[in-house]
Amino acid sequence: MMLAILNIDWQTLTDATALGAIYALMAVGIGLVFGVLRLVNFAYGQLVMAGAFALALASQWGWPIWAAIVLCFVVVLVLSVLMDRLVFRPLRTQSPAIMLVATFAVAFLLESIALLWFGPLGKIASSFGTLNQPVTISGVDIRKITIVAIVVAAACLIALTLLLERTTVGLYMRASAMDFQTARLLGVRANRVIGTAVVISGALAAVVAIMLTVQTPLVTPDFAFRDTIIVLAGVVLGGMNRPVPATLGGFAIGFASGILGGALPTNQSQYLPTFLFAAVIVVLLVRPGGLFDRSHTVERV
Amino acid sequence: MKRALLALQELAAPALLVVVAALFGTVVSLSTQAYFTDALVSVAIVVALYTFIGNSGVLSFGHISFVAIGAWTAGVLSVPTGQKPAIMPNLAHFMRHWTTGNLASIALAGVIAGVCALIVAFPLMRLSGLAAGIATFGVLEITHNMLQYEERIGPGLNAFSSVPETTGLLQASVGTLIVIVIAFAYGRSRFGRLLRATREDPAAARAAGVSIYRQRLIAFTLSGILAGVAGGLYVHLLPVSTNSVYLDLTFITLAMLVIGGATSLWGAVVGALAVSALDSYLAIAENGASLFGLHYDLPAGTRVVVEGALMALVLIVRPSGLTGGREVRLWPRHRS
């Protein structure tokens, strides 16, 4: 009933869920690194962009799909490890503002390298074109990628939860996210935990790159840039400190922007960012610590 | 009296730097002069950012909205009446026949931007940390979105062409000096000191009876006014469009502030001028000019690559910025 009033059909609903799923993966990628490093990685979108260009090049060279996927993972992982070694590690002890601006610089750098290399018009990644075709389930046309995205995102999140809950390194990561100083005093190796977080976050970026290129095959230097901004807002909305709220925040904002895109009348759809960010501001005002934050503590003397 | 004189020394260094930059601008060729004018306007924007971010320690991504609002105000007020229908066909009725002079348009840019900043600050200044960062980012997104599609208040997706280009070297340097003096006066005032106290130790400041909310509100509004003035200068410099007062400008000005050293006025001025100088130098090098006896011919686009790398490098080597975030005095007092 409610859905019918808001002029939302199943099509919009599944698309919104798929967008939410992809954003949730990006949110985990950003949230994991934030947890251990207290670093908001603005250059995350550029990792996704690099992976997408790897896919585009692979499809241009006529590589088989598995090779394209391997190339994408290799490129993104190498880049994220380099980023950690060259930029994040020397700045680890600095204030969040300085680290944030450093990631701006890295984002700028990667985007302009892509611009120099591939030009502003970008390249087409067409290896996964078949996934874009629709299947009809009980009268609703759903693109295959929508289902794939939801399944892959769910699988990644389950695997990640298992890793965090059931392995030693997962325990270290959760401990570090809670209190890095104390964790280190208790014998958790900083470089190992941070390295693992960076690698996992890079792998997630590669997965996101694959799914986004299916949805938008045209890869330009600013690929995934806007998505990163929206996901960052979502992560803060959810609550940055812990992976689950961050993921939920990412999903929520993806889902909300999908639904808003479908529900707004066409003469107002250009104001989508206004509605979205107005909602973000309102939520932040009501719950500054995040939607899913239960503790509410302010330091007192 | 003596204290006031000593304090003025801290103002003298940044002001002198701006004057020197402006004087250099008068002796170079006309095409190079444009880079100097541009650099001076960025100093004004970065000093406006410093007034809030530097003193409060809260990162704001939203200040370029006030630059944009200032640019829109001054732009709408200064496009000649005869050309308004061509550039802004859907402009609201009451603005169609109303134009002001150059100075009035810049002053009103500050006023309108300040009012907007005050309205935004009422709810937003309750936030801090990342929540504040994202919320101010939301302000930037909303402003950008509205200015882009709301054609009753401006040219929408088009650029502000045919605004009289009055921001030459003189107007840019005088305007920037005024912005610096106001920022300095605020920093020396009771309010500036209270705000810096909340930056250093929020809990202690609160315990001493300082309202963090009120102090941030004042600083945010003031820096909104200054950003609006800078926007007014900007629209009189070149045809501003929504994309020239959006993400790129936000990032570059924040980078200028952090690279210079976010916690001092001197840092803001040095950072803005240093990054502008680098940017102009590389822009000239990209065009294949000879500089200092060396012939460069960089491929187009290298500029941003080099800038990104250098910025990251500066932050790694000197995380507290080029100036270390301290003020300087021209004649250091000798301690006995």
**Shortest Cα–Cα distance, A147 to chain B (Å):** 31
Question: In angstroms, rounded to a whole number, what is the distance separating the alpha carbons of residues A50 and A175?
Answer: 31
- Strand segments, DSSP code E, in chain A are 123-124, 134-137, 140-143, 218-219
ipTM of the complex: 0.87
Query: A298 pLDDT band (50/70/90 cuts)?
Result: low
- Any domain includes B323: no
- pLDDT at position A301 is 46
Q: What is the mean pLDDT of residues B62-70?
A: 96
- pLDDT at position B171 is 94
Q: Which residues of A touch B311 (CB under 8 A)?
A: 101-102, 104-105, 108
- pLDDT at position B270 is 94
- pLDDT at position A300 is 47
- pLDDT at position B294 is 57
Lowest mean pLDDT among A120-129, B8-17, B29-38, B188-197: A120-129
- Total domains, chain B: 1
% of residues, chain B, pLDDT over 90: 53
- Any domain includes A253: no
- Residues B323, B54: contact at Cβ < 8 Å? no
- Residues A101, B315: contact at Cβ < 8 Å? yes
- pLDDT at position B144 is 95
pLDDT in tens, A186-209: 888 888 888 999 999 999 999 999
Whether residue A86 is predicted with pLDDT greater than 60 in this model: the reply is yes
**For the ranges A117-121, A242-246, B130-134, B205-209, the one whose mean pLDDT is highest:** B205-209
Q: What is the mean pLDDT of residues B46-71?
A: 95
- Any domain includes B251: no
- pLDDT at position B123 is 93
- Residues A171, A16: contact at Cβ < 8 Å? no
Whether residue A130 is predicted with pLDDT greater than 80 in this model: the reply is no
Whether the CB of B214 is below 8 Å from some CB of chain A: the reply is no
Residue B318: phi, psi to the nearest 5?
-130, 80
- Any domain includes A33: yes
**Which is it for strands B290-291 and B294-295: parallel, antiparallel or unpaired?**
antiparallel
- The residue of chain B nearest to residue A237, with distances taken between CA atoms, is B131
Whether residue B214 is predicted with pLDDT greater than 90 in this model: the reply is yes
Whether residue B336 is predicted with pLDDT greater than 50 in this model: the reply is no
Q: What is the 3-state secondary structure (H, E, C) of chain B?
A: CHHHHHHHHHHHHHHHHHHHHHHHHHHCCHHHHHHHHHHHHHHHHHHHHHHHHHHHCCCCCCHHHHHHHHHHHHHHHHCCHHHHHHHCCCCCHHHHCCCCCHHHHHHHHHHHHHHHHHHHHHHHCCCCHHHHHHHHHHHHHHHHHHHHHCCCCCCCCCCCCCCCCCCCHHHHHHHHHHHHHHHHHHHHCHHHHHHHHHHHCHHHHHHCCCCHHHHHHHHHHHHHHHHHHHHHHHHCCCCCCHHHHCHHHHHHHHHHHHHHCCCCHHHHHHHHHHHHHHHHHHHHHHCCCEECCEECCCCCCHHHHHHHHHHHHHHHHCCCCCCCCCCCCCCCCCCC
pLDDT in tens, B254-306: 889 988 988 899 999 999 999 999 888 888 877 766 555 555 566 666 777 88
pLDDT in tens, A233-261: 888 888 777 778 888 899 999 999 888 88
Provide the mean pLDDT of chain B.
88
CA angle A123, A128, A132 (to 5 degrees): 105
Lowest mean pLDDT among A71-80, B7-16, B61-70: B7-16
**Shortest Cα–Cα distance, A108 to chain B (Å):** 6
- Interface size, chain A vs chain B, as Cβ–Cβ contacts under 8 Å: 129
- Total domains, chain A: 1
- Any domain includes A289: no
Whether residue B231 is predicted with pLDDT greater than 70 in this model: the reply is yes
Q: What is the mean pLDDT of residues B94-118?
A: 92
**Residue A200, domain extent:** 11-224
- Any domain includes B257: no
Tokens 């009451």 belong to residue:
B94
Q: Which of B145, B256, B317 to mutate to test the interface with A (most CBs of A within 10 A)?
A: B145
- pLDDT at position A1 is 42
- pLDDT at position A7 is 61
Contacts of B270 (CB under 8 A, 6+ apart): B14, B17, B260, B261, B322, B323
| Inter-chain CB proximity B207 and A301 less than 8 Å | yes
Whether the CB of B135 is below 8 Å from some CB of chain A: the reply is yes
Of B334 and B262, the structure prediction assigns the larger pLDDT to B262
- pLDDT at position A112 is 87
Q: What is the mean pLDDT of residues B146-161?
A: 88
- Any domain includes B75: yes
pLDDT in tens, B129-139: 888 888 999 99
Q: Which residues of A touch B303 (CB under 8 A)?
A: 112
Tokens 């394209």 belong to residue:
A68
Q: Counting Cβ atoms within 10 Å, is residue B210 exposed (0-12), middle (13-18) or buried (19+)?
A: middle
- Any domain includes A182: yes
- Any domain includes B50: yes
- pLDDT at position B296 is 58
- pLDDT at position A3 is 53
